[in-house]
Chains A and B, each alone.
Chain A
Amino acid sequence: MSNSHNNRAAITRRAYAAVALRTMWRRAEGKFALIVLALWLAVALVSLVWTPQSLWTTDGYHVWAKPSAAHWLGTDGTGADVFSWLMAGSRTNLLIVLLTVVVSALWGLLLIAAMVARNSALASTSVVVIDALISIPTVLIALILAVPMGASIAVIVIACGFGYGLNLARVARPAALLAARSAYVESALANGASGWRVLVSHIIPNNLPVLAVQLSLSAGTAVLAESGLTYLGIGVPSGVPSWGHSLATSVKLINVFPLTVLWPGLIVTVVVVALNVFGDVLRDAIDPVANPALRQTAGSAGKEDER
Chain B
Amino acid sequence: MSQDNGVHAETGATSANNANNASSASGTTGATGATTDASLASRAKNPKKHGPKWWLISLIAVIVACAVVIGVTVAYGKKSDSADASAKNMIADTVTIGLKLAPTNLDIRNTAGSALDQVLIGNVYEGIVARDSKNQVAPGLASSWEESKDGLTYTFHLNKNMSFSNGDKLDAEDVAWSINELIAKQYHDADALTAVSKVEAKNADTVVMTLKTPNSNLLWTLTGRAGLVFDKDAKYDLKTQAVGSGPYTVAKFVENDSITLKANDKYWGKNKAKTPTVVVKYLADDNAAVNALKSGDVQVLAPITETLAGPFKSDSANYTVKAGNGTDKYVLGFNNASGSKLADKRIRQAIRYAINHKEIIASRGGADKALGGPIPSLDPGYEDLTKLYPYDQAKAKSLMAEAGYSTDKPLELSLTYANIYGTELGDQLRSQLKPIGIDLKVNVVEFSTWLQDVYTNHDFDISLVDHNESHDFYSWADPTYYFGYDNADVQKLYNEGVAATTDKERDAKFAEAAKLISEDAPADWLFNYRITTVTAKGVKGFPFDLNQTVLPLYNVTYSLAEFSQK
| Selected interface stretch from A72-80, A86-94, A176-184, A193-201 | A72-80
A50: Cβ under 8 A from any B Cβ: no
| Selected interface stretch from B81-89, B216-224, B273-281, B438-446 | B438-446
Task: Find A254's partner among B287, B358, B360 (CB 8 Å cutoff).
Answer: B287
Given contacts A61-B362, A238-B444, contact A252 B432 (CB under 8 A): no
B11: Cβ under 8 A from any A Cβ: no
Interchain CA distance A239-B423 in the complex, whole Å: 9
The chain A residue sitting closest to B357, CB to CB, is: A60
A253: Cβ under 8 A from any B Cβ: yes
Interchain CA distance A63-B310 in the complex, whole Å: 13
User: B363 to A60, Cβ gap below 8 A?
Assistant: yes
User: A77 to B311, Cβ gap below 8 A?
Assistant: no
User: A56 to B431, Cβ gap below 8 A?
Assistant: yes
Q: Which residues from chain B contact A79 at a C-beta distance below 8 Å?
A: 363
A107: Cβ under 8 A from any B Cβ: no
Task: Find A238's partner among B311, B360, B423 (CB 8 Å cutoff).
Answer: B423
| Nearest CB of B to A176, in Å | 18
User: B39 to A239, Cβ gap below 8 A?
Assistant: no
Q: Which residues from chain A contact B290 at a C-beta distance below 8 Å?
A: 255
Q: Which residues from chain B contact A59 at a C-beta distance below 8 Å?
A: 359
The chain B residue sitting closest to A54, CB to CB, is: B431
B427: Cβ under 8 A from any A Cβ: yes
Task: Find A150's partner among B39, B359, B423, B443 (CB 8 Å cutoff).
Answer: B443
Contacting residues of chain B (327-383) with chain A, CB-CB under 8 angstroms? 356, 358-363
A233: Cβ under 8 A from any B Cβ: yes
B307: Cβ under 8 A from any A Cβ: yes
A64: Cβ under 8 A from any B Cβ: yes
What is the predominant secondary structure among interface residues of chain B facing chain A?
A: helix
B419: Cβ under 8 A from any A Cβ: yes
| Nearest CB of B to A269, in Å | 20
Interchain CA distance A256-B309 in the complex, whole Å: 9
Task: Find B307's partner among A60, A80, A256 (CB 8 Å cutoff).
Answer: A256
Given contacts A78-B363, A252-B286, A253-B307, contact A239 B424 (CB under 8 A): no
Given contacts A56-B430, A60-B428, A239-B426, contact A255 B363 (CB under 8 A): no
B31: Cβ under 8 A from any A Cβ: no
| Nearest CB of B to A80, in Å | 7
B75: Cβ under 8 A from any A Cβ: no
Q: Which residues from chain B contact A248 at a C-beta distance below 8 Å?
A: 423
The residue among A245, A248, A252 with the most chain B CB atoms within 10 A of its own CB is A252
Task: Find B428's partner among A78, A151, A237, A290 (CB 8 Å cutoff).
Answer: A78
> Contact size class for B?
35 or more
A207: Cβ under 8 A from any B Cβ: no
Task: Find A233's partner among B43, B358, B419 (CB 8 Å cutoff).
Answer: B419
User: A249 to B423, Cβ gap below 8 A?
Assistant: yes
| Nearest CB of B to A285, in Å | 14
Given contacts A58-B432, A63-B363, A252-B287, contact A78 B427 (CB under 8 A): yes
Interface code B286-303, partner A: CB below 8 Å = 1, 0 otherwise? 110011000000000000
Interchain CA distance A77-B430 in the complex, whole Å: 14
A289: Cβ under 8 A from any B Cβ: yes
The residue among A79, A150, A238 with the most chain B CB atoms within 10 A of its own CB is A238
Q: Which residues from chain B contact A56 at a C-beta distance below 8 Å?
A: 430-431, 434
User: B359 to A61, Cβ gap below 8 A?
Assistant: yes
The chain A residue sitting closest to B449, CB to CB, is: A150
| Nearest CB of A to B239, in Å | 30
| Nearest CB of A to B263, in Å | 34
Given contacts A78-B363, A256-B307, contact A238 B43 (CB under 8 A): no
Given contacts A255-B308, A289-B43, A290-B43, contact A60 B431 (CB under 8 A): no
Contacting residues of chain A (219-262) with chain B, CB-CB under 8 angstroms? 233, 237-239, 245, 248-249, 252-256
Q: Which residues from chain A contact B234 at a C-beta distance below 8 Å?
A: none
Q: Which residues from chain A contact B426 at a C-beta distance below 8 Å?
A: 238-239
The residue among A60, A79, A249, A256 with the most chain B CB atoms within 10 A of its own CB is A60
Given contacts A58-B431, A290-B43, contact A238 B287 (CB under 8 A): no
A6: Cβ under 8 A from any B Cβ: no
A3: Cβ under 8 A from any B Cβ: no
Task: Find A58's partner among B428, B443, B444 (CB 8 Å cutoff).
Answer: B428
Task: Find A239's partner among B287, B358, B432, B441 (CB 8 Å cutoff).
Answer: B441
The chain A residue sitting closest to B356, CB to CB, is: A60
User: B287 to A255, Cβ gap below 8 A?
Assistant: yes
B positions within 8 Å CB-CB of A: 39-40, 43, 286-287, 290-291, 307-308, 310-311, 356, 358-363, 419, 422-424, 426-428, 430-432, 434, 441-446
A-B residue pairs in contact (CB < 8 Å), sample of 28: A56-B430, A56-B434, A58-B431, A59-B359, A60-B362, A61-B359, A61-B362, A77-B363, A77-B422, A77-B424, A78-B363, A233-B419, A233-B444, A237-B442, A237-B443, A237-B444, A238-B442, A238-B443, A239-B426, A239-B441, A245-B423, A248-B423, A249-B424, A252-B422, A255-B291, A256-B307, A256-B311, A289-B40
Besides A58-B428, A77-B363, A77-B424, 4 other A-B contacts (C-beta < 8 A): A61-B362, A64-B307, A80-B431, A238-B444
List the 10 shortest-distance A-B pairs measured between CB atoms, nearest first: A60-B359, A60-B363, A58-B431, A238-B442, A77-B424, A56-B431, A238-B444, A78-B427, A63-B363, A60-B362
A positions within 8 Å CB-CB of B: 56-61, 63-64, 77-80, 150-151, 233, 237-239, 245, 248-249, 252-256, 289-290
